[in-house]
A = this chain, B = another copy of it.
Amino acid sequence: MSNDQKWDQLAERLAEIDDLEHAIALLGWDQQTYMPAGGAEARGEQMATIERVVHQRFTDPAVGQLLEDLAADAAALPESSHRASVWRVVRRRYDRATKLPEDLVAEMARTSARAFDTWVKARAANDFTMFEADLTHQVDLARQQTDHFGYEDTPYDALLAGYEPNLTSADVDRLFNPLRDRLVPLLDSLRPVLDRINDDALRGDLPHDAQIALTEDIVTLVGFDFKTGRQDLAAHPFTTSIGHGDTRVTTAVDPRNLAPALYASIHEAGHGTHDQGIPAELRRTAVGQVESLVIAESQSRLWENLVGRSRGFADHLLPYLRKHFPGKFGPLEAGTLYAAGSYVEPGYIRVQADEVTYSLHIFLRYEIERELIEGRLAVTDLPERWWSGMKSLLGVEPTTDADGVLQDVHWSSGAIGYFPTYALGTLLSVQLYEAALADDASIQPALEAADFAPLLAWMRQHVHRHGAAWSAAELVTRELGVELSADPFLDYLETKYRALYNL
């Protein structure tokens, strides 16, 4: 068989896997949007079955053989060529997928299903001890995985790489340490003046349907295309790709507060425009999906924070508020709206955190995950460790387990190593945003005129068009000529929040 035929054979297998994965994506989207309660058990079985079929077909030794046979061909191609990218991405995924023994994979699936259930109950009962045994087992399974995956410095690196290609703890430390070192003092300097700003402007009697209509206008404004996508309601907003031309974003409405729906919608529209920007010719190949969670989060954070929470955006937002809530926002000034969207309040809950405190929540989770995986912390000591960390990083006093260590779903499903990508994506968002504005002088005036197309076009060209070809570190080097860095983010935050709070 010729190499071209082998590339075709590989492409065919990847297209099939891509189709199956998008079926799982739709099953998952539906589970969180429209599925009736009675369908939960069958849905779990369906998703597990297709996951298993995908795993079998992807880890088929024939795939490994094709990768071997095509290695020299791929190495001879420019690394930015489509085939070289496919080879690189598939090689990485194949190696990870084949390193875990079947019985460990099965035990992980069983444990995750059970632990999720336990977590829901423990959170409702506000009792960490109910979750302790399952979480202990998840940590143990994660440590077993690290043995199979292998690592150089710390077993935690083997987990990190599952969410961001080749990411190591050394990379994270290099970025997170300055983050903590400048964020904690920034927060301390704001602490005495926090009451200068509040979010009252975004609260009130704000009917559900009007909020939905508003968010549809806003996500359209920032470039999300409803011909190739839709927005629905979900308890925990997310974005998912159902294949080329079909991107689903979600939002959640609090009829007494506009902020959750508004910022969730803009955040998810950032993911959505990212998915909609992946070129058709990459689809149904391994390079046609979003793989780096850092790059993914850079897009959502960019639109949510750097655009959505900017002073200029408040000017654009105000007419929409007045349109969708007649009589409600008449006297409001854009400056007050801007402040309401950016007010700072050290709190318990990560997903409700502001721009200043958000990364501190992540930092705590990162420290704890490493301690658990490196055997320096026992699960039973987790609540105490949590509250001492919350106190030193955020200055908040212990409260209930539900608002503490039980607040996030991730660990229940065995997702350890995921959290750092949230903060790293936020750092990258500022680097990309500033590079875009420096690179194309038309972007800033366009933003001031509520024209987001030039900024989106820059992201299409420098981020989206690559699909999964590059990790975040590779992307920032190739496109920006620099390394991932926390400084632009910290400079941005300090400038914005010192001004906002009149320091």
The B-contacting residues of A in range 215-241, CB under 8 angstroms, are: 225-230, 232
Q: Are A36 and B246 in contact (CB under 8 A)?
A: yes
Quick check: A16 and B49 within 8 Å, CB to CB?
A: yes
Binds B, one of A40-48, A250-258, A289-297: A40-48
A23 with B42: CB separation less than 8 A:
no
In Å, the complex CA distance between A8 and B230 comes to 42
The answer to whether A228 and B38 have CB atoms under 8 Å apart is yes
The residue in chain B whose Cβ has the minimal distance to the Cβ of A50 is B23
Taken together as a complex, chains A and B put the C-alpha atoms of A36 and B276 apart, in Å, by 12
Instruction: Find out whether the CB atom of A227 lies under 8 angstroms from the CB atom of B36.
Output: yes
B contact residues around A245 at 8 Å (CB): 36-42
Interface residues in A9-56 (C-beta closer than 8 Å to B): 15-16, 19-20, 22-24, 26-27, 30, 34-43, 45-46, 49-50, 52-53
Chain B residues within 8 Å of A122, by CB? none
A19/B46 in contact, CB under 8 A: yes
Task: Decide if A88 is an interface residue (CB 8 Å cutoff).
Answer: no
| B242 A39 Cβ-Cβ under 8 A | yes
Nearest-neighbour CB distance to chain B for A281, whole angstroms, equals 13
Given contacts A30-B26, A36-B230, contact A243 B43 (CB under 8 A): yes
B-chain residues with CB within 8 Å of residue A246 when the two chains form the complex: 35-36, 38-39, 42-43
Q: Bound complex: CA of A22 vs CA of B42, how far in Å? A: 9
Complex CA gap A244/B15 in Å reads 30
User: For the complex, is A284 an interface residue (Cβ under 8 Å from B)?
Assistant: yes
A462 CB-CB contact with B under 8 Å: no
- Most chain B C-beta atoms within 10 Å of own C-beta, residue among A43, A50, A232: A43
Asked if A96 CB lies within 8 Å of chain B CBs, one says no
B-facing mask of A271-305, CB < 8 A → 1, else 0? 00000000000011000000000000000000000
Taking the nearest CB of chain B, how far is it from the CB of A216, in angstroms?
13
User: From A37, which residue of chain B is reached at the shortest CB distance?
Assistant: B227
Tell me if A36 and B283 are in contact (CB < 8 A).
no
Quick check: A243 and B39 within 8 Å, CB to CB?
A: yes
The answer to whether B27 touches A45 (Cβ under 8 A) is no
Min CB distance A74 to B, Å, is: 25
A124 to chain B, nearest CB (A): 20
Which residues 45-100 in A have Cβ within 8 Å of B in the complex?
Answer: 45-46, 49-50, 52-53
Query: Known contacts A20-B49, A23-B23: does B228 contact A42 (CB below 8 Å)?
Result: no
CA A162 to CA B43, docked complex, whole Å = 28
The answer to whether A226 and B36 touch (CB under 8 A), given A41-B245, A244-B41, is yes
Contacts of A243 on B, CB cut-off 8 Å? 39, 42-43, 45-46
Q: What are the 8 A-B residue pairs with the smallest beta carbon separation, nearest first?
A: A39-B246, A38-B245, A42-B243, A38-B228, A19-B49, A19-B46, A42-B244, A23-B23
Residues on A lying within 8 angstroms of B by beta carbon are: 15-16, 19-20, 22-24, 26-27, 30, 34-43, 45-46, 49-50, 52-53, 225-230, 232, 242-246, 283-284
Name 13 extra pairs, CB < 8 A, besides A16-B53, A36-B229: A20-B49, A22-B42, A22-B46, A34-B34, A35-B242, A36-B230, A37-B227, A38-B229, A42-B243, A42-B283, A43-B242, A43-B246, A45-B284
Q: List 12 A-B contacts (CB under 8 A).
A: A20-B53, A23-B23, A23-B27, A30-B242, A36-B226, A36-B229, A36-B246, A41-B244, A42-B243, A42-B246, A43-B242, A45-B243
